[in-house]
Structure formats: structure tokens, C-alpha cells
Chain A
Amino acid sequence: MSIPADLKYTKSHEWAKLNADGTVTVGITHHAQDLLGDMVFVETPAVGRKLNAGEECAVVESVKAASDVYAPIAGEVVAANAAVEAAPEAINKDAHAAWMFTLKPDNAADLDSLLDAAAYQALVESEAH
């Protein structure tokens, strides 16, 4: 189980990474892709779209099931990863590298409300029981 310490996590299994320029990159976690299985379709949000925290903004579909992806914090979409739409299996190979979109946060301090790696690990373990 891979839960990098430099990322923040949501209860809905997104990861968020604070970049040096103050933007935040978002993807789904290793645990989420493991639950969903082979990815076959990804839809990322449009650049320029303004998102509220917790808003549905992207979709990942495995052979098995469709799953919504939620914005971890509020902000404006400044980049979307076309490569992951073209090759959804990249999420299975390395979920923490296969990012989906980047946000310019309304308030960078909102990241503090997300889970750290230890808290996310505890969440994953509690869901396994």
C-alpha cells in the first residue's frame, strides 16, 4: 500500500499535492484504483471551471464501475491532464503520478483541513474491516 507522506488526502480517496507555485494537483489514490480495478475511461474538468470543495468535477470508470471524483478544496481549474484521458490505465500503473487536474486554490490554507498520510492510512484500514 502506497501512501506518500508529501500528499494530502480526502475521505473520498483523492490525493492533493501543493506545488511550488501555490497551485494544487489532484488525482485519485492508489487505494481507490485498487478498489476500482482496470481503468478504461477518465473525464477531467474543463480548464477555467470554478469548483467548490467537495464538488463532483471528474469521472473515472473501470471495467467494473464508474466513480465520481470530487474537488478536495475550492479553486479554479488551471490545467487538466489530457494524457490520462487518452491512457486511463496510467492510473493503475501509478495513481500518484497520473494526475487529473490542477487547481488554483481560493485559499491555500484549506489544504490543512485534508487528511495527512497517517490519517488516510487509518481511514483505509478502517474501511477494510
Chain B
Amino acid sequence: MLKQTPLSAAHRAMGAKMVDFGGWDMPVSYGSQIDEHHQVRSDAGMFDVCHMLVVDVNGADVRGFLRNLVANNVDKLKVPGKALYSCMLNPQGGVIDDLIIYFMTEDWFRIVVNAGTAEKDVAWMQKQAQGRGLTITPRRDLAMIAVQGPNARARVWMAIPGAQAVTEAVKPFNAVEFQQYFIARTGYTGEDGFEVILPAAEAQAFWHLLATLGVKPIGLGARDTLRLEAGMNLYGQDMDETTSPLESGLAWTVDLHSGRDFIGKAALQARDINHQLVGLVLLDKGVLRAHQPVHTKHGVGEITSGTFSPTLQQSIALARIPLGIAPGAEVEVEIRDRKRKAKVVSYPFARNGKALV
């Protein structure tokens, strides 16, 4: 039996093609995933991200707990509502999950974790929290809907009377509470927009209201092409428990320079770094896919995520390849036993509707 979100019935009613996504009954597309992609880049689209889990951590010393738990430094969070992207590492320096931490008050931080890792994450957090007098609360009573695109914020303001006044000045990667809504200016598409957390019982009505305001539903298919164009990592593909964040394009999230100790730090410092995550653009015909070998002059690497980019109209990928191959270099990707030319590029590939490579 697949797990349902509060919106599963709404997806079916809107003609979605549903798939088993890590045990969840989720919409992959409502028709053309390319049309959905362009809809988000040019206007506004909404995503059911209720399968992801909101975890509230409460207690006197949440900050101290998070200083030890995650690789990024929560002391960067000084203003209520500010968000931080971080990896949560195991003692070997592998990535248990990547997550977003919102600082609300010194005794309340809100964390959003991936769907597929949610149970493992909560168990790990509870283990690390032992003896600290903290409460860790998985919030399956909450729903999460992402509204993304250049017109996304304006549509949310139409849907929630009064929200404009309290969220217009909210900067990217910040959140604010308003009535029963937790409105965060975060997302996974490279576009402006909000991730709205609200009571699960309200989710269907809010979803339908957004639809009447011209916000189109977007499936997981377009979510993946959007996030890859935006150069955002996907847990389980671009990183996992066996890979170092330092070889997954996530060094910018790992705080090795402050005196703070955190789980996995010593292992990261002891490990050699031999690989880097780069962008690839396919120069020949075809489509780049995860696990295809990438041949470089310094050895063989592997594509971690690949797809066709609707914005660039060619295939793009993230790949983990040996160090020393710089943007502009040509490499060869093995696609079904044939070597195809690709160019190494810096990512993101697209942002705010525009191609960057």
C-alpha cells in the first residue's frame, strides 16, 4: 500500500499520471512534463511536496544540538526565520541526508528532510538528542506545497489575504509564520517562490484555490529537470552515505574552519579528496543519464544525474569526475557502448528563466 499525501485524490482528479515514488503515491506529470517545466520558468507552478517531512526540534539548547548534528554552521542563523542548507553526516563523513534548517526561536528550530530518508533521519536525530532534554517531533499533520516561478509569490499573495504585507520583505532563504501558514522563500527550481507549510486538513482547499488563480500543478518529472538545470543536488543520486560532501559539490555547506566539532568532521579531514562534481553539456546527440561512465584525461568518472534540459534544448548532467578537469574541457560519455562528446561546465545551467551555459 503506497503512502498517500493529502493531495493524492486531487492529483487524480487533475489527470495526473501517478507513480510509486519511494513508497509514495505521487504525480509524475499531468500531461507534458516539458510544458510543466516551461510553466514554472515562465509563470508559476505548484508542487506537492507533502512526502517530505517537517521535523520540529524544541528545547532549551536546540542550537547546541544542531552544532553537533550538521556540517554547516547553525551559528550563521541569527535572525528568526533564517534558513540554512546543510548535510547531516554519519561518523564516516557520508551524507545521511541533506536538509533545510529554519531558525525560529532559540527553543524551536524547524527542519525539512527528504521523503526517502525521513524515518532514518528522525531515528538518527533522536539518538543524537538523547540526554539533551529536547523534543523531536515529526509533523505528518502538516502539508507542504511549493509554488515556484516568476509569478509565484504574487499568486500566493492572492490566495492568502494579508500575506503580502508580511512576506513581501522576506528575503530568499527566509521564512515567516502567518496565521496557520509557514511561508518560506525557498525552493528547488532556481526560480523565485514560496514553500508553504500548512495544516494537512487545509492542503486540498489551498491547492484548488491556487489552481483557480492560474497556478498549474507540476509533477515530479518536471521537478527533476528544473532542479537539475538549477544545479541542485538530489539525495541518493548526487550524494549518499558512501560519498563525501566535499566530492559532491557541497564543500560550500561544510564548515571545516570554525573550531566547532560536528559528527563526521574528523573523517572528512582525514579523507583524501580525489573527485569533484561538475556540470556536463552533451555536444553530440543523445541523453545523459545517471551512472554513465565519463572518460577524462585524468581517469574515469560517473554521471550522478542526467536529463534533457528543456531550457537549453540539449542534454545536461552532474558528474563526479577526477580532480583537475576544468570547465571548458571536453570529455567523453559512454552512452550504450558508444562514446559521445560532452563539455565540462560550471553549474547552475539555468536560473530565473535564463540559460547560463
Interface residues of A (CB under 8 A from B): 37-38, 40-41, 43, 59, 61, 63-64, 66, 92
Contact = CB atoms under 8 A, between A and B. Distances in A.
Mostly, the A contact residues are: strand
A82 B28 CA distance: 30
Contacts of A92: 32
Given A37-B221, A41-B308, A63 B34 contact: yes
Given A37-B29, A37-B32, A38-B32, A63 B289 contact: no
The 10 closest A-B pairs by CB, nearest first: A40-B308, A38-B34, A61-B287, A63-B308, A41-B287, A38-B32, A63-B33, A38-B33, A37-B33, A64-B221
Interface string B273-300: 0000000000001110100000000000
For the side of the interface on B, what is the size category?
10 to 19
27 contacts: A37-B28, A37-B33, A37-B221, A38-B33, A38-B34, A40-B287, A41-B285, A41-B286, A41-B308, A41-B315, A43-B285, A59-B336, A61-B286, A61-B287, A61-B308, A63-B33, A63-B221, A63-B225, A63-B307, A63-B308, A63-B310, A64-B28, A64-B33, A64-B221, A66-B287, A66-B289, A92-B32
Nearest to A42: B285
Contacts of B308: 40-41, 61, 63
Contacts of B287: 40-41, 61, 66
Nearest to B289: A66
Nearest to B285: A41
Contacts of B285: 41, 43
A64 B307 CA distance: 7
Contacts of A41: 285-287, 308, 315
Interface string B305-333: 00110100001000000000000000000
Interface in B180-209: none
A31 to B, nearest CB: 13
A92 B336 CA distance: 24
Contacts of A43: 285-286
A40 B32 CA distance: 12
A59 to B, nearest CB: 7
Contacts of A63: 33-34, 221, 225, 307-308, 310
> Which residue, B32, B34, B221, has most C-beta atoms of chain A within 10 A?
B34
Nearest to A35: B17
A42 B336 CA distance: 13
Contacts of B289: 66
Nearest to B19: A64
A116 B27 CA distance: 32
Contacts of A38: 32-34
A59 B335 CA distance: 11
A57 B197 CA distance: 49
A64 to B, nearest CB: 6
A40 B37 CA distance: 14
Contacts of A40: 287, 308, 315
Interface string B3-19: 00000000000000000
A92 B34 CA distance: 12
Contacts of A37: 28-29, 32-33, 221
Contacts of B315: 40-41
A50 B289 CA distance: 29
Nearest to A68: B336
